[in-house]
Protein backbone atom coordinates (compact mmCIF):
# COMPACT_ATOMS: atom_id res chain seq x y z
CA UNK A 1 0.00 0.00 0.00
CA UNK A 2 2.79 2.46 0.93
CA UNK A 3 5.77 2.82 -1.34
CA UNK A 4 9.11 2.00 0.26
CA UNK A 5 11.09 3.48 -2.62
CA UNK A 6 11.45 7.20 -1.97
CA UNK A 7 12.30 7.73 -5.64
CA UNK A 8 9.22 5.99 -7.02
CA UNK A 9 6.46 8.09 -8.59
CA UNK A 10 3.17 7.70 -6.74
CA UNK A 11 -0.08 9.34 -7.81
CA UNK A 12 -3.61 8.95 -6.53
CA UNK A 13 -7.22 9.39 -7.52
CA UNK A 14 -9.27 10.47 -4.52
CA UNK A 15 -12.99 10.93 -5.26
CA UNK A 16 -15.74 11.54 -2.71
CA UNK A 17 -18.51 8.90 -2.79
CA UNK A 18 -21.32 11.45 -2.78
CA UNK A 19 -22.57 10.80 -6.30
CA UNK A 20 -21.83 8.98 -9.54
CA UNK A 21 -18.60 9.71 -11.39
CA UNK A 22 -18.83 11.60 -14.68
CA UNK A 23 -16.35 12.07 -17.52
CA UNK A 24 -14.61 14.91 -15.71
CA UNK A 25 -13.71 12.55 -12.90
CA UNK A 26 -12.62 9.95 -15.44
CA UNK A 27 -10.35 12.50 -17.11
CA UNK A 28 -8.63 13.27 -13.81
CA UNK A 29 -8.27 9.59 -12.95
CA UNK A 30 -6.80 8.85 -16.38
CA UNK A 31 -4.31 11.72 -16.06
CA UNK A 32 -3.12 10.46 -12.66
CA UNK A 33 -3.06 6.83 -13.82
CA UNK A 34 -1.15 7.53 -17.02
CA UNK A 35 1.36 9.78 -15.29
CA UNK A 36 2.24 7.04 -12.81
CA UNK A 37 2.32 4.27 -15.38
CA UNK A 38 4.42 6.35 -17.76
CA UNK A 39 7.02 6.78 -15.01
CA UNK A 40 6.91 3.15 -13.94
CA UNK A 41 5.26 4.23 -10.69
CA UNK A 42 2.20 3.44 -8.63
CA UNK A 43 -1.39 4.65 -8.96
CA UNK A 44 -3.49 4.61 -5.79
CA UNK A 45 -7.22 4.85 -5.17
CA UNK A 46 -8.38 6.69 -2.05
CA UNK A 47 -12.03 7.15 -1.09
CA UNK A 48 -12.53 10.53 0.58
CA UNK A 49 -15.57 9.62 2.67
CA UNK A 50 -14.86 12.13 5.42
CA UNK A 51 -18.46 13.36 5.26
CA UNK A 52 -20.62 10.53 6.69
CA UNK A 53 -23.83 12.42 6.01
CA UNK A 54 -23.32 12.43 2.24
CA UNK A 55 -21.13 9.39 1.54
CA UNK A 56 -22.84 6.23 0.28
CA UNK A 57 -21.57 2.68 -0.16
CA UNK A 58 -23.33 2.40 -3.51
CA UNK A 59 -21.15 5.22 -4.83
CA UNK A 60 -17.97 3.56 -3.49
CA UNK A 61 -18.84 0.42 -5.45
CA UNK A 62 -19.66 2.58 -8.46
CA UNK A 63 -16.28 4.31 -8.37
CA UNK A 64 -14.43 1.01 -8.47
CA UNK A 65 -16.67 -0.38 -11.21
CA UNK A 66 -16.26 2.76 -13.33
CA UNK A 67 -12.46 2.68 -13.10
CA UNK A 68 -12.33 -0.98 -14.05
CA UNK A 69 -14.70 -0.31 -16.96
CA UNK A 70 -12.29 2.35 -18.25
CA UNK A 71 -9.36 -0.08 -18.00
CA UNK A 72 -7.72 1.64 -15.03
CA UNK A 73 -6.12 -0.57 -12.40
CA UNK A 74 -4.89 0.76 -9.07
CA UNK A 75 -2.13 -0.58 -6.83
CA UNK A 76 -2.68 -1.97 -3.35
CA UNK A 77 -5.80 -1.76 -1.25
CA UNK A 78 -8.32 1.05 -1.48
CA UNK A 79 -7.82 3.44 1.42
CA UNK A 80 -10.83 5.12 3.04
CA UNK A 81 -10.60 8.33 5.00
CA UNK A 82 -13.29 7.02 7.37
CA UNK A 83 -10.65 4.58 8.65
CA UNK A 84 -8.10 7.33 9.22
CA UNK A 85 -9.79 9.45 11.90
CA UNK A 86 -7.08 8.77 14.51
CA UNK A 87 -4.41 10.12 12.16
CA UNK A 88 -6.37 13.32 11.62
CA UNK A 89 -6.94 13.76 15.34
CA UNK A 90 -3.20 13.34 15.86
CA UNK A 91 -2.40 16.06 13.34
CA UNK A 92 -5.04 18.32 14.84
CA UNK A 93 -3.60 17.70 18.29
CA UNK A 94 -0.13 18.67 17.11
CA UNK A 95 -1.41 21.95 15.71
CA UNK A 96 -3.37 22.59 18.89
CA UNK A 97 -0.35 21.93 21.09
CA UNK A 98 1.57 24.48 19.02
CA UNK A 99 -1.07 27.10 19.89
CA UNK A 100 -2.29 27.40 16.31
CA UNK A 101 -5.97 26.47 16.75
CA UNK A 102 -9.01 27.98 18.41
CA UNK A 103 -12.63 26.82 18.76
CA UNK A 104 -15.27 28.51 16.62
CA UNK A 105 -18.98 28.48 17.45
CA UNK A 106 -20.16 30.43 14.40
CA UNK A 107 -22.52 28.91 11.86
CA UNK A 108 -22.14 29.41 8.12
CA UNK A 109 -25.06 31.84 8.29
CA UNK A 110 -23.29 33.85 11.00
CA UNK A 111 -20.23 34.20 8.81
CA UNK A 112 -22.16 35.07 5.66
CA UNK A 113 -24.05 37.78 7.53
CA UNK A 114 -21.01 39.27 9.21
CA UNK A 115 -20.62 42.93 8.33
CA UNK A 116 -18.01 43.67 5.69
CA UNK A 117 -16.89 40.04 5.52
CA UNK A 118 -14.44 39.79 2.58
CA UNK A 119 -14.83 36.95 0.10
CA UNK A 120 -12.19 34.57 -1.19
CA UNK A 121 -12.30 31.72 -3.68
CA UNK A 122 -13.81 29.46 -1.01
CA UNK A 123 -16.53 31.89 0.07
CA UNK A 124 -16.63 34.48 2.84
CA UNK A 125 -13.35 34.86 4.70
CA UNK A 126 -13.95 34.28 8.40
CA UNK A 127 -14.01 37.65 10.22
CA UNK A 128 -12.36 36.26 13.36
CA UNK A 129 -15.35 36.55 15.68
CA UNK A 130 -14.35 33.69 17.98
CA UNK A 131 -10.69 34.63 18.11
CA UNK A 132 -11.47 37.46 20.52
CA UNK A 133 -13.82 35.60 22.86
CA UNK A 134 -13.14 35.96 26.57
CA UNK A 135 -11.17 32.83 27.63
CA UNK A 136 -13.61 32.02 30.43
CA UNK A 137 -16.59 32.35 28.10
CA UNK A 138 -14.83 30.23 25.49
CA UNK A 139 -14.17 27.45 27.98
CA UNK A 140 -17.79 27.50 29.14
CA UNK A 141 -19.13 27.38 25.60
CA UNK A 142 -16.80 24.52 24.65
CA UNK A 143 -18.43 22.38 27.33
CA UNK A 144 -21.94 23.21 26.13
CA UNK A 145 -21.89 23.93 22.41
CA UNK A 146 -20.71 22.16 19.26
CA UNK A 147 -17.76 23.88 17.66
CA UNK A 148 -15.27 23.74 14.84
CA UNK A 149 -11.52 24.20 15.07
CA UNK A 150 -9.96 27.00 13.06
CA UNK A 151 -6.31 27.72 12.41
CA UNK A 152 -4.99 31.09 13.54
CA UNK A 153 -3.57 31.89 10.14
CA UNK A 154 -1.37 34.80 11.15
CA UNK A 155 0.37 32.73 13.84
CA UNK A 156 0.73 29.78 11.45
CA UNK A 157 2.29 31.89 8.70
CA UNK A 158 4.62 33.56 11.18
CA UNK A 159 5.82 30.14 12.27
CA UNK A 160 6.58 28.79 8.77
CA UNK A 161 7.81 31.89 7.00
CA UNK A 162 7.82 32.09 3.21
CA UNK A 163 6.77 28.88 1.45
CA UNK A 164 6.81 27.65 -2.15
CA UNK A 165 5.53 24.75 -4.19
CA UNK A 166 6.07 23.66 -7.79
CA UNK A 167 3.19 23.36 -10.23
CA UNK A 168 3.77 21.76 -13.61
CA UNK A 169 1.65 24.35 -15.43
CA UNK A 170 2.87 27.59 -13.85
CA UNK A 171 6.21 26.70 -12.29
CA UNK A 172 7.33 27.91 -8.87
CA UNK A 173 4.53 29.31 -6.73
CA UNK A 174 4.72 31.39 -3.56
CA UNK A 175 2.17 30.19 -1.02
CA UNK A 176 -0.26 32.86 0.19
CA UNK A 177 -2.57 31.16 2.71
CA UNK A 178 -3.30 34.42 4.55
CA UNK A 179 -5.88 35.45 1.99
CA UNK A 180 -8.09 32.52 3.00
CA UNK A 181 -8.35 33.65 6.59
CA UNK A 182 -8.68 31.28 9.54
CA UNK A 183 -9.91 28.20 7.69
CA UNK A 184 -11.70 25.34 9.45
CA UNK A 185 -9.60 22.21 10.03
CA UNK A 186 -12.24 20.15 11.84
CA UNK A 187 -15.99 20.36 12.43
CA UNK A 188 -18.31 18.93 15.04
CA UNK A 189 -19.44 16.21 12.62
CA UNK A 190 -16.04 15.37 11.13
CA UNK A 191 -12.57 15.10 12.71
CA UNK A 192 -10.89 16.77 9.75
CA UNK A 193 -11.63 19.14 6.91
CA UNK A 194 -10.74 18.31 3.34
CA UNK A 195 -7.58 20.42 3.69
CA UNK A 196 -6.26 18.57 6.73
CA UNK A 197 -7.26 15.08 5.63
CA UNK A 198 -5.82 15.32 2.13
CA UNK A 199 -2.54 16.76 3.42
CA UNK A 200 -2.10 14.02 6.01
CA UNK A 201 -3.11 11.23 3.64
CA UNK A 202 -0.92 12.31 0.72
CA UNK A 203 2.08 12.24 3.05
CA UNK A 204 1.11 8.91 4.65
CA UNK A 205 0.69 7.27 1.24
CA UNK A 206 3.94 8.87 0.03
CA UNK A 207 2.29 10.54 -2.93
CA UNK A 208 5.00 12.22 -4.98
CA UNK A 209 2.79 13.84 -7.63
CA UNK A 210 -0.69 15.24 -7.03
CA UNK A 211 -2.60 15.20 -10.32
CA UNK A 212 -5.95 16.98 -9.95
CA UNK A 213 -8.25 19.54 -11.52
CA UNK A 214 -7.51 23.24 -11.75
CA UNK A 215 -10.48 23.90 -9.45
CA UNK A 216 -8.26 22.74 -6.57
CA UNK A 217 -5.29 24.90 -7.47
CA UNK A 218 -6.07 27.55 -4.85
CA UNK A 219 -6.38 24.94 -2.10
CA UNK A 220 -2.67 24.20 -2.53
CA UNK A 221 -1.84 27.44 -0.69
CA UNK A 222 -3.41 25.95 2.43
CA UNK A 223 -2.02 22.45 1.89
CA UNK A 224 1.51 23.79 1.57
CA UNK A 225 1.15 25.59 4.90
CA UNK A 226 -0.11 22.47 6.65
CA UNK A 227 2.74 20.43 5.22
CA UNK A 228 5.24 22.86 6.71
CA UNK A 229 3.51 23.00 10.09
CA UNK A 230 3.26 19.21 10.38
CA UNK A 231 6.74 18.48 9.00
CA UNK A 232 5.38 16.65 5.96
CA UNK A 233 6.94 16.42 2.47
CA UNK A 234 5.62 18.53 -0.39
CA UNK A 235 4.66 16.64 -3.55
CA UNK A 236 4.85 18.04 -7.05
CA UNK A 237 1.53 19.40 -8.30
CA UNK A 238 -0.10 18.94 -11.70
CA UNK A 239 -3.35 20.90 -11.97
CA UNK A 240 -5.00 20.03 -15.24
CA UNK A 241 -7.72 22.01 -17.08
CA UNK A 242 -11.32 21.04 -16.40
CA UNK A 243 -13.30 19.31 -19.10
CA UNK A 244 -16.26 21.19 -20.57
CA UNK A 245 -19.45 20.04 -22.24
CA UNK A 246 -20.84 21.06 -25.62
CA UNK A 247 -22.16 24.30 -24.07
CA UNK A 248 -18.73 25.25 -22.78
CA UNK A 249 -19.68 24.53 -19.15
CA UNK A 250 -17.52 22.42 -16.87
CA UNK A 251 -18.70 18.89 -16.25
CA UNK A 252 -20.21 18.71 -12.77
CA UNK A 253 -22.61 16.62 -10.72
CA UNK A 254 -24.77 19.63 -9.93
CA UNK A 255 -25.24 20.38 -13.65
CA UNK A 256 -26.49 16.88 -14.32
CA UNK A 257 -23.50 15.80 -16.40
CA UNK A 258 -23.90 12.26 -17.72
CA UNK A 259 -22.53 9.71 -15.29
CA UNK A 260 -20.14 6.98 -16.34
CA UNK A 261 -22.71 4.42 -15.23
CA UNK A 262 -25.23 5.97 -17.63
CA UNK A 263 -22.70 5.88 -20.46
CA UNK A 264 -21.96 2.24 -19.69
CA UNK A 265 -25.67 1.39 -19.65
CA UNK A 266 -26.05 3.11 -23.04
CA UNK A 267 -23.41 0.89 -24.59
CA UNK A 268 -20.57 3.43 -24.85
CA UNK A 269 -17.24 1.80 -25.71
CA UNK A 270 -15.08 2.41 -22.61
CA UNK A 271 -11.73 2.18 -24.38
CA UNK A 272 -12.86 4.63 -27.07
CA UNK A 273 -14.13 6.96 -24.34
CA UNK A 274 -10.84 6.73 -22.45
CA UNK A 275 -8.87 7.48 -25.61
CA UNK A 276 -11.07 10.51 -26.32
CA UNK A 277 -10.58 11.78 -22.80
CA UNK A 278 -6.83 11.37 -23.12
CA UNK A 279 -7.08 13.78 -26.06
CA UNK A 280 -9.20 16.14 -23.97
CA UNK A 281 -12.29 15.46 -26.06
CA UNK A 282 -15.83 15.03 -24.74
CA UNK A 283 -17.90 13.79 -27.72
CA UNK A 284 -21.57 13.60 -26.90
CA UNK A 285 -21.06 14.72 -23.32
**Pick from 211, 204, 171, 201: which is nearest to 37 by CA?**
211
Q: How far apart are CA 285 and CA 261, in angstroms?
A: 13
Cα–Cα separations (whole angstroms), residue 12 to 28, 41, 201, 258 = 10, 11, 10, 23
253 included as an active-site residue: yes
Q: How far apart are CA 229 and CA 94, in angstroms?
A: 9
Assign 151 to helix, strand or coil: strand
The H or E element containing residue 219 is helix 219-230
Sign of CA dihedral 264, 268, 272, 275: negative
- Residues recognised as catalytic: 253
Amino acid sequence: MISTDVGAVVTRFAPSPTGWLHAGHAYSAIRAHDFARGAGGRFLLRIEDIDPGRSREVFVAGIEEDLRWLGLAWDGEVIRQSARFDAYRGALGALGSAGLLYPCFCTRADIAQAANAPHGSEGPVYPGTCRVLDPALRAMRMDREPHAWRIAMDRAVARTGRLHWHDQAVGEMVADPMRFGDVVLARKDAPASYHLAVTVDDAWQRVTDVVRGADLFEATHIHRLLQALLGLPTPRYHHHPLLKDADGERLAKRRGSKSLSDLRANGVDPLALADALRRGETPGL
